[in-house]
Amino acid sequence: MVAGSIHGDFDKRDVVAGPGEICFIDLARPYQCQVDAGERLVMAIPRASIGKILGAHDIHGLVLDARKPMTSLLKDYLCGFHAVSGLLSASEDVTALEAQCLIFSLACLT
């Protein structure tokens, strides 16, 4: 969330996320949400890539607190990736996705 907020029910998990926070949505699972006017950066990551690192951890509806340093690091990485993604070669893109998944895992598990 860059600006605005999201409120919802993510498969029976009550979710509230605001600016600077990161909210994970598993598009294969049920969720209903309301979003306020604002700005969001959205990134789709293959479930297999996340599952390889996180295993069976349920991150659907997980919100990473904006005040935590790992959340800030992940946010900065996502913004940087978004800024250069169209310029990366295929092998660079794969490597960047792997690095991103490692940062996700550290942020989710701490």
Kindly report, residue by residue over 8-52, the tens digit of the pLDDT. Answer: 999 999 999 999 999 999 999 999 999 998 999 888 887 777 777
Rounded percentage of the chain residues whose pLDDT exceeds 70: 99
User: What are the backbone dihedrals phi and psi of residue 106, each rounded to the nearest 5 degrees, phi first?
Assistant: -65, -40
From the CA atom positions of the chain, what is the Rg in Å?
Answer: 14
Mean pLDDT, residues 96-106: 83
SS (H, E, C) 9-46: ECCCCEEEECCCCEECCCCCCCCEEEECCCECCCCCCC
The three-state secondary structure class of 55 is: coil
Model pTM score: 0.83
Tokens (6 digits) for 50:
């996340």
